Structure 1
Amino acid sequence: MLWFLLGVCTLIAGYFIYGKVIERIFGIKPERQTPAIANNDGVDYVPMSTKKVYLVQLLNIAGLGPIFGPILGALYGPVALLWIVFGSIFAGAVHDYFSGMLSVRAGGASVPTVVGRELGKGAKHFMNGFAVLLLLLVGVVFTLGPAKLLGNLSGTSVPVWVAIIFGYYMIATIVPIDKIIGRFYPLFGALLVFMSVGLLVGLGLSDKPFYSSGITLENLHPKDLPLWPLLFITIACGALSGFHATQSPLMARCMENESNGRFVFYGAMIGEGVIALIWATLGMSFYDSPEALNATLANGGPAAVVNEVSTSLLGAVGGLLAILGVVVLPITSGDTSFRAARLILADFLNFDQKPIAKRLMIALPMFVVGFFISKMDFNVIWRYFGWANQMTAVMMLWTAAVWLKRHGKFHWVCTIPATFMTGVVNAYLLSAEIGFGLPLAIAGPIGIASSALVLAWILLRGGKGAATEAVADQA
């Protein structure tokens, strides 16, 4: 219990202390109009209250991420808690803050446009394709998971549920953001918090002891999978996730004042970190050993762990919450994934999204592609998603580092996590089955060398030749 409480207190302190440092380094301008006010179109640019924007942001970035990832990460032992806490404060929340605030300064632009302003047109075109691919993968992953569970519960075939969920995604993607997402998702966001806290209370009242061993860097994974780079790919949402960079612009178009950015963007990531910390603690405390946890995972994946933990600790109510968590939460991230993809494509094609016909012109082909992706092996999709997710985080962190360097600000708050994660994603790609399959003894040093090369390039040339339109972001 002591380690968990210490982790929560550290996350909260990180918000008030380091979050304030990040805000000062960025340099907010409360008097400046945000895109929600300046570009209000009643569809995607819609002013919403700060509390509502925060809860929508939390749900958009969370879904199943801070539940499934930490459960899998718990296999590594308490070192997972350290990554969640310090990753959230020094990497994830910083990433989310800059992805949101740089979008605000760019008029609510999507992540490829933000990246292109700092890293050039080549990076923009790369991110256009890469971000849309990532969002389609997320949308498909968050369709197949709940569809399979609903199919098992109802006896209806999985393709039928896939079609139903895709149908809902279509509606949520094209209607004004305040009609469904802004109206109902704050309730689901609050439910995500209450669900996690309720399970923690249930654990405290049960005969299951909180994980009481001392914090150790020892790898406890029953299959002896390497901590580096796998832990930092496994626990993404809850520590650092590039998917958030695709979601933050949605709320950058709804936030009413720049002074709200620390609460909305940095704060939502800290909130997700607390949720991830709860689930990692549950994974390590509910089961007697990593081997016992792994046995449940082998028989049904993280969803089986959620169901077993929830039902055991909270009874019938826990079972209902488990179903709600595994069905509703991924759906609420899936639809915003497709919405973000629509907006990225609209920016690329320069399509006005106020007329519903133009929204449909982008959405319909996008859902056809998503449907065909859903026919692929889920496990393969998930592995590619894990790498693509953290690669997006790397691009966003380097973008923020260049922006800070170009404006004469302290860029190391982004440069350090960007350098570290560059080594992680490259070592993973080189060693993973979906990549080059090299031994980690070779892939690891190459990954480290690649991060050093990128760092050197940024220090020597970062910020030079940036797009001229970026000058306006300080006006």
Structure 2
Amino acid sequence: MYTFLAGIVLLIIGYFTYGKFIEKMFGVKEDRPTPAYVNGDGVDYIPMSTPKNSLIQLLNIAGTGPVFGPIMGALYGPAAFIWIVVGCIFAGAVHDYLTGMISIRNRGAHLPELASKFLGKVMKHVVNGFAVLLLLLVGTVFVSTPASLLHLLSDGRVALWIFIAFIFVYYILATLLPVDKIIGRLYPYFGALLLISALGVGIGLVVTGAPIPELSFQNFHPEGAAIFPLLFFTISCGALSGFHATQTPIISRTTRREKEGRKIFYGMMIAEGIIAMIWAAAAMSMFSGYNGLNEILAAGGPGAIVSEASTTLLGAIGGTLAVLGVIVLPITSGDTAFRSARMIIADYLKVAQKKFSSRLWIALPLFAVSVVLTQIDFNLLWRYFNWANQSTAVIALFVASMYLYIARKNYFVALIPGTFMLIMVITYILSQPIGFNLPMNISWGGGFVGAAILVVLFFKAAVKARANNIPLEVDVSDWKKAS
């Protein structure tokens, strides 16, 4: 219990200390107008309040990641707590804040455009394809998981395909309509449900005195589970997730002032970390240890853990509300995944999105591909999503590193976590069956050597970019013309 509570306290302290340090280092410009006003179009660029933006950002980035990921990560024991806390404060929240703020400085640009500007034009095409693929995988996964939970909640009385169809209809509307029509109106209520359900489970763990394991050398990782690199892909949302880099530009286009960035981007990542801690603790404490947890996961997946833990801690009614809160998570990330994909493709093709027809012809093919992807085995999709997700995080952190290097600021805050995850990404794809399935010693060697080469290339490009005085932000007077 002490490890669990200490972790949550550290996350909160991290927001007020390291988060403040990152904000000060970046340098907020209070008098600089944001894209919400300069590029206002009534569809994607609309100024909204800080509380509303914060709740939308939390729901956008969350998905099932801070619930399902930590539940599966609980198999690694209290080592999961370390990654959630350290990863969230020093990697994930930094990643989200810098991506959001750099986007604000560049008329709400998405990651492919930022990669093109700071890492080279070739990267625009690479990252564009990579980001759209990731968003399609996310959208598809976040159709399947909430539909399965709703099917489970109905005790199988309602056919699974009905829930899938219902979610797709909602996604189409949320993707095509202006951001303040559905997302801006419903998300504050969804956000309240999410926070209340997570806090209810957390308080239930404390009140019942759940036997949450403490951090020690004896139980650091039960059954000798290989922490490196698997833990960092099992738990992504709640610690570090590249998916967030595709979501923050949605809110960078609705943020009213740069000063609000720390609450919206850094703060909501900390909130997600707390949610992750709660569900990891629930999974570790309630199912008779590693073997019991493993059996339930094998039989019913993370959804069974969510249902059982919620009902046990909160009763029938409270448990149902908690499950609904978890169902909301993937739905409110799936819709913005498709919305982000639509915006990224529109930016890439330079198609204005004010007309409904312009949004429609870009969005419909995305949904058609997603329907096909729902027929693929979920576990296979999830593994590819994990790798694509963390690869995107690496790209975003290196974009932030380049920005800070050119600005002569402390680029190590982004480069260190970016390099660490780069090693993990290369090692993972070399060692896993979805990749090259090489022996671990060869994979580790490839990870370190590959990362070293790419970091050297980064510095070579960074020195050149600084010498060429690449502009860090779009001149406000040029925004209308550029859009």
TM-score w.r.t. structure 2 length?
Answer: 0.94
CA contact (8 A) 1:90 1:413 kept: yes
Matching residue of 1:437: 437
Structure 1 CA distance, aligned partners of 2:351 and 2:469?
A: 23
Q: Over residues 415-439 of structure 1, what are the superposed CA-to-partner deviations in whole Å (9 max), with x where a residue is unaligned?
A: 1001100000110000111000011
The 5 A counterparts of 1:71-150 are 71-150=71-150
Letter in 1 for 2:293: L
Matching residue of 2:52: 52
Q: Over residues 153-204 of structure 1, what are the superposed CA-to-partner deviations in whole Å (9 max), with x where a residue is unaligned?
A: 2534333322221111000101111111111112211221211111111122
CA contact (8 A) 1:116 1:122 kept: yes
Unaligned runs of 5+ in 1: none
Structure 2 CA distance, aligned partners of 1:159 and 1:282?
A: 30
CA contact (8 A) 1:118 1:470 kept: no
Secondary structure at the residue paired with 2:305? helix
The 5 A counterparts of 1:78-227 are 78-152=78-152, 153=154, 154-206=156-208, 208-211=210-213, 213-216=214-217, 220-222=221-223, 224-227=224-227
Secondary structure at the residue paired with 2:464? coil
Structure 2 CA distance, aligned partners of 1:383 and 1:118?
A: 29
The 5 A counterparts of 1:322-341 are 322-341=322-341
Structure 2 CA distance, aligned partners of 1:468 and 1:43?
A: 34
Please say if 1:311 is aligned against 2:295.
Answer: no
CA contact (8 A) 1:58 1:268 kept: yes
Cα 1:431/1:80, change in 2 over 3 Å: same
Matching residue of 1:404: 404
Q: Over residues 38-64 of structure 1, what are the superposed CA-to-partner deviations in whole Å (9 max), with x where a residue is unaligned?
A: 111111111000011011101110121
Letter in 1 for 2:191: G
The 5 A counterparts of 1:294-309 are 294-309=294-309
Structure 2 CA distance, aligned partners of 1:238 and 1:284?
A: 16
Matching residue of 2:20: 20
Q: Over residues 229-253 of structure 1, what are the superposed CA-to-partner deviations in whole Å (9 max), with x where a residue is unaligned?
A: 0000110000000000000000000
Letter in 2 for 1:352: A
Matching residue of 1:364: 364
Percent sequence identity over aligned pairs: 52
Moved more, 264-273 or 6-15: 6-15
Structure 2 CA distance, aligned partners of 1:299 and 1:203?
A: 24
Secondary structure at the residue paired with 1:144? helix
CA contact (8 A) 2:406 2:462 kept: yes
Matching residue of 2:480: none
Structure 2 CA distance, aligned partners of 1:22 and 1:383?
A: 32
CA contact (8 A) 2:67 2:326 kept: no
Structure 1 CA distance, aligned partners of 2:218 and 2:409?
A: 34
CA contact (8 A) 1:79 1:216 kept: no
CA contact (8 A) 1:59 1:186 kept: no
Please say if 1:233 is aligned against 2:219.
Answer: no
CA contact (8 A) 2:406 2:465 kept: no
The structural deviation recorded for 1:465 is 4.4
Cα 1:162/1:474, change in 2 over 3 Å: same
The structural deviation recorded for 1:72 is 0.8
CA contact (8 A) 1:79 1:217 kept: no
CA contact (8 A) 1:119 1:463 kept: no
The structural deviation recorded for 1:217 is 8.4
Q: Over residues 315-366 of structure 1, what are the superposed CA-to-partner deviations in whole Å (9 max), with x where a residue is unaligned?
A: 1124312431343221111001000000000001111101101110101111
Secondary structure at the residue paired with 1:228? coil
Unaligned runs of 5+ in 2: 477-483
Structure 1 CA distance, aligned partners of 2:106 and 2:438?
A: 40
TM-score w.r.t. structure 1 length?
Answer: 0.96
Please say if 1:259 is aligned against 2:263.
Answer: no
Structure 1 CA distance, aligned partners of 2:189 and 2:173?
A: 19
Letter in 1 for 2:229: P
Structure 2 CA distance, aligned partners of 1:149 and 1:71?
A: 15
Moved more, 412-421 or 141-150: 141-150
Structure 2 CA distance, aligned partners of 1:463 and 1:52?
A: 40
Letter in 2 for 1:99: T
Letter in 2 for 1:177: V
Letter in 1 for 2:414: C
Q: Over residues 239-285 of structure 1, what are the superposed CA-to-partner deviations in whole Å (9 max), with x where a residue is unaligned?
A: 00000000000000000000111111011101111111111111112
The structural deviation recorded for 1:32 is 0.3
Matching residue of 1:246: 246
The structural deviation recorded for 1:382 is 0.6
CA contact (8 A) 2:407 2:472 kept: no
Matching residue of 1:39: 39
CA contact (8 A) 1:138 1:334 kept: yes
Structure 1 CA distance, aligned partners of 2:437 and 2:293?
A: 27
CA contact (8 A) 1:78 1:217 kept: no
CA contact (8 A) 2:221 2:227 kept: no
What is the CA RMSD across the aligned residues, in angstroms? 1.7
The structural deviation recorded for 1:408 is 1.1
> Aligned pairs, how many?
473
Letter in 2 for 1:400: A
Secondary structure at the residue paired with 1:177? coil
Letter in 2 for 1:34: T
